[in-house]
Structure 1
Amino acid sequence: MSTNKNFFENFANAATTFTGSYYVFLGALAIVIIWAATSPVFQYSETWQLIINIGTTIITFLMVFLIQKAQNKDSKAIQIKLNELIAANKTTSNRIVNIENLTEEELDRIHKYYEKLSDEAEEDADLHASHSIDAATKNQEEKSEYFRKEQY
């Protein structure tokens, strides 16, 4: 099983790199131009149209899976990078790590919290301030008090 997984992983990586290249785009464009140019020769027959339809359908069908594989891998890499930033920063909430596994309802609840946090931050004198979920209200109060004392 591991050999098949490694084969698919290697194949998917090579295929997405290859199919996303400039040369493959030019090749596809050339095929379409040649197909269109041969239309008078084949008198716009159903067979002539069927050739391009079948070709594009098969390629599109296969590319959906390659694109999804690449998207899943990129998404996972981005999540790991974001988790590292959250874990490394002492002022961020570690409860946000692995947040992508929450339900839609839980994500909506956290989103509403951040909307409230944004509203509070708009009242703050420092436009660049940010807070974790755990410390947001406390930080907001402390910063407001600090700015009142320092009169920025």
Structure 2
Amino acid sequence: MKKIYRHLERFFEKIASVATIILGNSITFTIALLLVVLWFCNRDFANQDINDSFRDIIHGITFLSLFIIQKSFNRFSGSLHLKLNELVVSHSTANNSVINVEMKTEEEISELQKEYTDLAEQIKEVEEKLQ
């Protein structure tokens, strides 16, 4: 059962990665923009209530915002990971297992978190003994 769960997790992580890349792509935004323009062109705003018109405009803007926010997040996340990787590599005593941690599975990240929690507790105990 645990093996099936692990395979499902990896599959879901791959789908999520692909979806993130697709939603943050400028071509996808352009297609979405064309869809919204076509949707607006086919709407009869003259015969609609003003509230319905505002609702349609807000839905279109919200839909396009999804793609803009995802693009911005992808850029920010990528640059942040590059900076952190550079800091880890430049420090001679750093643990290189955290380089490209964003590419690891959720299970591997949890294991690393446990290791660092244990390490922090050990350091705390040593500091308490020294005092």
Shared fold per TM-score greater than 0.5: yes
Question: Matches of 2:49 and 2:122 in 1, distance apart?
Answer: 65
- Correspondences of 1:1-152 after superposition (within 5 Å): 8=26, 47-125=49-127
Question: Matches of 2:117 and 2:74 in 1, distance apart?
Answer: 28
1:119 is paired with a residue of what secondary structure? helix
| TM-score for both structures, normalised by structure 2 | 0.60
If each structure's helix is expressed as a fraction of its own residues, which one has the higher value?
A: 2
- How many percent of aligned residue pairs carry the same amino acid? 32
Question: Matches of 2:72 and 2:103 in 1, distance apart?
Answer: 20
Equivalent position amino acid for 2:59 in 1: T
Q: 1:70-115 CA deviation, whole Å, 9 max, x = no partner?
A: 0000000000000000000011012211111111111111111111
Question: Matches of 1:101 and 1:51 in 2, distance apart?
Answer: 44
Equivalent position amino acid for 2:97 in 1: R
Equivalent position amino acid for 1:58 in 2: G
Considering Cα pairs closer than 8 Å and 6+ residues apart, tell me whether 1 or 2 has the greater RCO: 2
Unaligned 5+ segments in structure 1 are: 1-7, 13-45, 127-143
Structure 1 runs (4+) greater than 6 angstroms displaced: none
1:124 is paired with a residue of what secondary structure? helix
Equivalent position amino acid for 2:93 in 1: T
Question: Matches of 2:54 and 2:124 in 1, distance apart?
Answer: 56
Structure with max Cα Rg: 1
Question: Matches of 2:96 and 2:76 in 1, distance apart?
Answer: 22
Aligned length: 88
Question: Matches of 1:85 and 1:59 in 2, distance apart?
Answer: 39
Q: How far off its partner does 1:123 sit?
A: 1.1
Q: What's the C-alpha RMSD, in Å, of the aligned pairs?
A: 2.5
Question: Matches of 1:61 and 1:97 in 2, distance apart?
Answer: 35
Equivalent position amino acid for 1:119 in 2: E
